[in-house]
Amino acid sequence: MLNELYALSAILNDTGVKTEIWHKNFVPNPKTATFRILVDDEGNIAGIETITDEKAKTAIRKWETSNGNSFPSFNVTPLYDLTQNETLIEQAKELKKQLDKDKPINTEHLKTLIEQAANLWEGQQKLAKCLNQIPQDMGKLITESTAENQALLSLTQRILKTTPQQFHQQLTDCLLSQENLFPFFELLFFYTGAKKNTCLVLEVSDRSKFEYPANHTKAQSWFNQCLLSVGKNAAASSDKDAYGAVNNGWQEKFGAIRMNILGDVTLRAMNDESRCQYRYGQINATGNPVGVQTREAMSSALGWLSHPDRKKKTWTDISRSKGEKALLFAYPSVMPEEDAEYALLFGGAVDEDGVKFEACAERVLKSLSQIPKTIEAQMQIFVLSKPDGFRTKVQFSHNCSIDHFIQAAQDWQTGCRNLPPLTIRTFGEDKKPTWSEPLTPYPEEIVWCLNTVWTHFGTQASLIKQFNMGDALDLLLDSGLKLTHTVKALLAAILKNNQSFLLALGNAHHIGRVHSIPKSYNKQALLLPSVLALLLDKSNLTNEAYMKLPAYLIGRLLSVADQLHDKYCKYVRKDSRPPQLLGNALMAIALEHPKQALAMFSQRMLPYQAWARTYSDPDPKKEAGLVHFFLNEWGTICSQLKELETEIPIRCSDIDKTSMLLGYLASTAKKDQPEPSTPGELNESK
């Protein structure tokens, strides 16, 4: 990933894109509960304010000289511990309930509770560093007074007038004086569960006296430049780093970049305890020396890529598909005049704005077409994940030419349309049931479907961690033998994990109902047929070819059998239906042993065939014409199968199973028209 980021930094520099370079130790605050502490001239706490906006929290930075030691912001535990006494815990819970209901509380009782609690800050050495040592060091770095740093310099001087003990007591008094203690309750007491850190942001109380407060973006930018300039005045080394730049500071560790979803990401973790470090006899920084100048360029490039404003353009969240934190990054090596949602085209799982793949692809391909053909541009793609929740892993990295990528995106859409006439019964935006066309999946949604296992006749879903984004991108971008192996593996998995769901979906459709599944998985009903069609297309099997296969015709035969059985139950059994219709009950057998299923079908079809031949009713609502249509379709398919009898396989391959499932789900001509809701259907979605 270092090489790609180095190349990106050069691209951004050449195109005039300005990126922010932040010192590795000047980091943004976390998104935890955050409070602004106002400090007066004498170093006393003059007030406290809550900061609730998530962007406002992370916009504030702190100088973190070592893990947990920082200024002017730092993390603290609650002030008092009540967990040593069960009675105190119950009193705290009751007290919080009263505060939540805006009931008045007894101040004396609150003070008594504090007197019986343990001081959680007592003996913490890091507080002395955060309140004394670090601000003292920060003050030494501020060698001249400017409009940007006056408040920050004053804050470092003020806080040196207090001690951790005084700060603890003043903060307690400040909280007790609040009219509404509820927002600060977790800062005051630890009474249950795990200790939650709170972020305190120190600020001058008389902010109006200064042009910029201590935590203003101007003040932060000034101090950041101050940190970056330290050591840059030293004589440049004649040695070069791995990228041809001066190697000043090459022994230092890489700083972390804070990203949405993933949190802190270190570009290169150098740990001599990792055995892989010894592979080439070079340990830690000696394995790949990177100077400060190069490191800053890489960090700023990754910061630009992962900036919140560039969501969907250069990065997108793909955590859902595998159940672990993961981000996908995608960008062209040459920046077109018009930006587009490059990353969204790969991972559009979070579909809050309803953007379909075709619409996204149209914008992306239009943007990429602006790159001159004479330039050998590349599409860069990589995925970062945190499988264990802590260490960042490069899950996938790939690049291809822009022309290849454009063709791959077009082939993807063609493959997903490799379907027979097929509609899916779903709930529309008005929450009424309707027949909908299958959707073209984003690559990330392919992984989501692959990693979903359906059980209990396709009504319950669970997520596994078998496939990742690399598998979907192999399907999108690869060709030849590698693509063949990928398709084979994905086809086997999708059939194994989703067969029960697809059969249940067809069974519900043939009754004219929406199959009831958890709402969070509703979209899979519209995605899975397209996934099957795409895998057949990647197997060089178009719908014109597989719709003539015996397996497809068997699926159609059992589909028509279901619909005829449904009409039989409606008019003969007075709407009393078994859990499975005739064709659905035989599909599980047909997917393994098609000849055996046909033999069973020839016996079980007889009573329904006899009824359909004699059924008639002048009332058009009785659907006599539709019954006879199903019977004719039944006969037509049987005739086609008779002609292909020698070609019917003894056992189904995965290609045969896929064709059969699509045949079973395919629409019957007379059922393409909208149908009224079935009683009870409106409340089926869970």
For residue 236, is pLDDT > 60?
no
8 and 60 belong to one structural domain: no
User: Under 8 Å CB-to-CB from 176, ≥6 apart: which residues?
Assistant: 107, 110, 111
pLDDT the model gives residue 683: 44
Domain count, the chain: 5
Yes or no: say if 35 and 51 are a contact pair by the CB < 8 Å rule.
yes
Structure tokens at 525: 């009903």
Question: Is 173 exposed, middle or buried (CB count within 10 Å of its CB: 0-12, 13-18, 19+)?
Answer: exposed
Q: Which of 418, 432, 472 lies closest to 450, judged by CA?
A: 472
Residue 397 banded pLDDT, cuts 50, 70, 90: confident
Instruction: Tell me which of 1 and 182 has the higher pLDDT.
Output: 182
Instruction: Tell me which long-range contacts 362-369 makes (C-beta under 8 A, separation of at least 24).
Output: 364/340, 364/409, 365/406, 365/409, 365/410, 366/338, 366/340, 367/336, 367/338, 367/339, 367/340, 367/342, 368/332, 368/336, 368/340, 368/402, 368/405, 368/406, 369/406
Residue 476 corresponds to which amino acid?
L
pLDDT the model gives residue 272: 62
In which domain, by residue range, is 433 found?
424-543
Residue in this structure with the two tokens 């001599």, named with its chain if needed: 272
Instruction: Tell me which of 354 and 419 has the higher pLDDT.
Output: 419
DSSP 345: H
DSSP 246: B
Strand partners, 405: none
String of DSSP letters for 469-537? HHHHHHHHH--HHHHHHHHHHHHHHHHHHHHHHHHHHHHHHHHT------GGGTTHHHHHHHHHHHHHH
Last residue of one domain, picked from the residues 543, 578, 599: 543
Q: Kind of pairing, strands 198-204 and 34-39?
A: parallel
CA distance 472 to 487: 10
For residue 469, is pLDDT > 60?
yes
Q: Which of 436, 413, 315 lies closest to 361, judged by CA?
A: 413
41 and 167 belong to one structural domain: yes
Q: Kind of pairing, strands 80-81 and 189-190?
A: parallel
250 and 188 belong to one structural domain: no
Does residue 223 belong to any structural domain of this protein?
A: no
Phi and psi dihedrals of 533, rounded to 5?
Answer: -65, -40
144 and 279 belong to one structural domain: no
C-alpha separations of 174 from 46, 77, 167, 567 in Å: 8, 17, 10, 75
Mean pLDDT score, 506-529: 91
Does residue 224 belong to any structural domain of this protein?
A: no
Give the pLDDT confidence of 669-686 residue by residue, as tens digits: 654 343 545 555 644 455
479 and 528 belong to one structural domain: yes
434 and 516 belong to one structural domain: yes
For residue 646, is pLDDT > 80?
no
Residue 490 banded pLDDT, cuts 50, 70, 90: very high
pLDDT the model gives residue 277: 62
Does residue 661 belong to any structural domain of this protein?
A: yes
184 and 39 belong to one structural domain: yes
Does residue 479 belong to any structural domain of this protein?
A: yes
Q: Which of 312, 370, 306 lies closest to 336, judged by CA?
A: 370
Last residue of one domain, picked from the residues 395, 416, 437: 416
Last residue of one domain, picked from the residues 309, 328, 355: 309
For residue 260, is pLDDT > 50?
yes
pLDDT the model gives residue 671: 45
pLDDT the model gives residue 232: 60
273 and 317 belong to one structural domain: no
498 and 533 belong to one structural domain: yes
Q: Which of 397, 392, 73 lies closest to 264, judged by CA?
A: 392
Give the pLDDT confidence of 5-33 residue by residue, as tens digits: 888 888 888 777 878 888 888 999 988 99
Does residue 197 belong to any structural domain of this protein?
A: yes
Q: Cβ–Cβ contacts within 10 Å for residue 470, how many?
A: 16
Angle at 68 between CA 65 and CA 69, to 5 degrees: 40
Residue in this structure with the two tokens 């001509």, named with its chain if needed: 669
Give the pLDDT confidence of 68-116 residue by residue, as tens digits: 899 999 999 999 999 888 888 888 888 888 888 888 777 788 888 888 9
For residue 249, is pLDDT > 80?
no
Mean pLDDT score, 323-330: 88
Strand partners, 445: none
Give the pLDDT confidence of 591-609 residue by residue, as tens digits: 999 999 999 998 998 999 8
pLDDT the model gives residue 221: 93
357 and 249 belong to one structural domain: no
pLDDT the model gives residue 478: 92
Does residue 221 belong to any structural domain of this protein?
A: no
Question: Is 104 exposed, middle or buried (CB count within 10 Å of its CB: 0-12, 13-18, 19+)?
Answer: exposed
**Average model confidence (pLDDT) for the chain?**
87
pLDDT the model gives residue 207: 92
Yes or no: say if 322 and 451 are a contact pair by the CB < 8 Å rule.
yes
Give the pLDDT confidence of 139-176 residue by residue, as tens digits: 999 888 899 999 999 999 999 999 999 999 999 999 99
Yes or no: say if 299 and 21 are a contact pair by the CB < 8 Å rule.
yes
pLDDT the model gives residue 230: 76
Give the pLDDT confidence of 31-63 residue by residue, as tens digits: 899 999 999 999 999 999 999 998 899 899 999
pLDDT the model gives residue 674: 39
CA distance 379 to 79: 52
Does residue 145 belong to any structural domain of this protein?
A: yes
pLDDT the model gives residue 395: 83
299 and 330 belong to one structural domain: no
Yes or no: say if 318 and 289 are a contact pair by the CB < 8 Å rule.
no
For residue 389, is pLDDT > 80?
no
CA distance 358 to 413: 7
281 and 317 belong to one structural domain: no
